[in-house]
Structure 1
Amino acid sequence: MGSSAQLARLLEHPTIWRGASAAHAEGLASGFAALDACLPGKGWPRAGLIEILVPRFGSGELYLLLPALAALTRARCARWCVWVAPPLMPFAPALAAEGIALDRVAVVSGARPLWALEQALGSGACDAVLAWARRPKAREIRRLQLAAERGRTLGVLFRPRRAAREATAAVLRLSLQPMVTGVRITLLKGRGARRGAVDLLRPGWPV
């Protein structure tokens, strides 16, 4: 077999990403038009892992996902929305007020959050899986990305902002900076996208 044929076979492997694929992937609307305009696919990836880097957990990162989670949990054929090891137990009345269907939400806690995250992402039973982790290894993030693709699930990994310099397999990486009237989102990595920042204004956004 010639080298060209070998390369062609290699590029067809499911674990290999090709740049052209990003242009055709339709995203899940974030609920923020200014943010969607900056994201590959004009929204959150429906089958992939994203990282949201924050100065501290509880910096308003969850509000960034609420509109999309509301849409997912209220879809006709909604699957599960799973939260893995949240720093605080979700406040059900607040989630309901944001339009999230609580009967589609499950919270997982335990000593092995990354294992639970990988299982949920690859199960095919979840529309979205959110997790908070301080020091995941690069190989663990790679496994999570592959699991999200396999399960066709939006995976969201919240991490400390000091991880911004690390290279990971996540399809999308954002940095979040709280402001008085909202947050500034900086795009650090996105397949087929350019780096940049966008300010999202929202009354009552926690800082």
Structure 2
Amino acid sequence: MAISLLWADGENTPPVPQSFTPSGVAQRWPVGLPHAVEAAIWRGDALGSPVTTTLRTGFETLDAELPGNGWPCQSLTEVLQVQPSVLEWRLLAPAMRVVVAQGKQIVVVGPPKAPHLPGLRHLGLDERQLVWINADKPVERLWATEQLIKANAAGMLVSWLPQARQEQVRRLQVCAQGCDGPVILCRPESAAHEASAAPLRLQARLGVDWELHVHLLKRKGPPHEGELRLPSIPGGLEAVLTPRLRYPSRLIAARQSRELSHAVGSPSSRHPSGRPAAAH
């Protein structure tokens, strides 16, 4: 049974809240919120305002989709991919160049493959400002990552933690709030189905035309639809790729078209039974 609620004055709407002065005179509260309160409210259909500084990613398309237009500092960011050590450097290199230009160090913890110094130079990174911590065991990588975050010892910290548990990521996020630079965790794509305390999570994969495809799994803002295509030719290939090789997808499509035309053949050159027609 539905019960209808009526207010004391007989109207169906609640009375406007009132306050009283010391003399007992009633005053109505303002309908709108104070400007300071209004500015602090984040609505879920808009990108949130970061509470910390950010570092530009070097990709304008990606910056436009991130709160604060860049990698968040004093916070964790998770980069999820199918195979490690394939695209992290290409994705993070533009921001790393900014960190190196500021005289700060890049610290990497437990990369599955040794950093390739000539490749780093092609990306514009100075190996003298790169610190590589070779930690093979998961517990060693986790311990080194936490200590570096607490010590605030890097302009950017990149750590490979494929086996990190939810409570461990949560602990790192708490510690990262005192770290001035971005903290990037590289994890497998299967971790996308797990809950994470990282405020920013993204999936990345390689495209055919030397680009990176990025989908934002989690951000402070509305859900991200589709994928971002970020141009990213590997270091050292920019100067040697011909115009045709810059778009391999066009070459693949042309080849498939030729193969299809050869497979179908010309109808006029074949007999209805499937045998070639006899010459007259």
Shared fold by TM > 0.5?
yes
The residue number in structure 1 matching 2:220 is 191
The residue number in structure 1 matching 2:190 is 162
Separation of aligned partners in 2, 1:199 and 1:51: 18
Q: Contact 1:121–1:153 (CA<8 Å) still a contact in 2?
A: no
Q: Contact 1:54–1:161 (CA<8 Å) still a contact in 2?
A: yes
Q: Are 1:203 and 2:244 an aligned pair?
A: no
Q: Contact 2:90–2:232 (CA<8 Å) still a contact in 1?
A: no
Distance 1:98 1:115, change over 3 A: same
Aligned residue pairs, count: 187
How far residue 134 of structure 1 moved from its aligned partner, in angstroms, is 1.6
Percent sequence identity over aligned pairs: 31
One-letter code aligned to 2:95: A
One-letter code aligned to 2:76: L
Q: Contact 1:82–1:126 (CA<8 Å) still a contact in 2?
A: yes
After superposition, the CA RMSD in angstroms is: 2.1
Higher helix share: 1
Q: Contact 1:23–1:192 (CA<8 Å) still a contact in 2?
A: no
From 43, 49, 52, give the equivalent of 2:70.
43
How far residue 85 of structure 1 moved from its aligned partner, in angstroms, is 0.4
Asked which structure has the greater CA Rg, the reply is 2
One-letter code aligned to 1:23: S
One-letter code aligned to 2:188: P
Distance 1:193 1:39, change over 3 A: farther
Compute the TM-score of the two structures, normalised by the length of structure 1.
0.83
Separation of aligned partners in 2, 1:19 and 1:99: 40
DSSP 3-state at the match of 2:86: coil
Higher relative contact order by CA 8 Å / sep ≥ 6: 1 or 2?
1
Q: Which aligned segments of 4 or more residues in structure 1 are displaced greater than 4 angstroms?
A: none
- Residue-by-residue CA offset, 1:62-106 (whole Å, 9 max, x unaligned): 21000101110111xx33211000011111122122222322210
How far residue 193 of structure 1 moved from its aligned partner, in angstroms, is 5.0
How far residue 152 of structure 1 moved from its aligned partner, in angstroms, is 2.0
Q: Note the residue ranges of structure 2 that are not aligned, 5 or more in a row.
A: 1-39, 43-47, 238-280
The residue number in structure 1 matching 2:61 is 34
**Matched ranges for 1:110-121 at <5 A:** 110=135, 111=137, 112-121=140-149
- Residue-by-residue CA offset, 1:161-187 (whole Å, 9 max, x unaligned): 011011111121000121112121000
Higher strand share: 1
Q: Are 1:103 and 2:133 an aligned pair?
A: no
Distance 1:152 1:200, change over 3 A: same
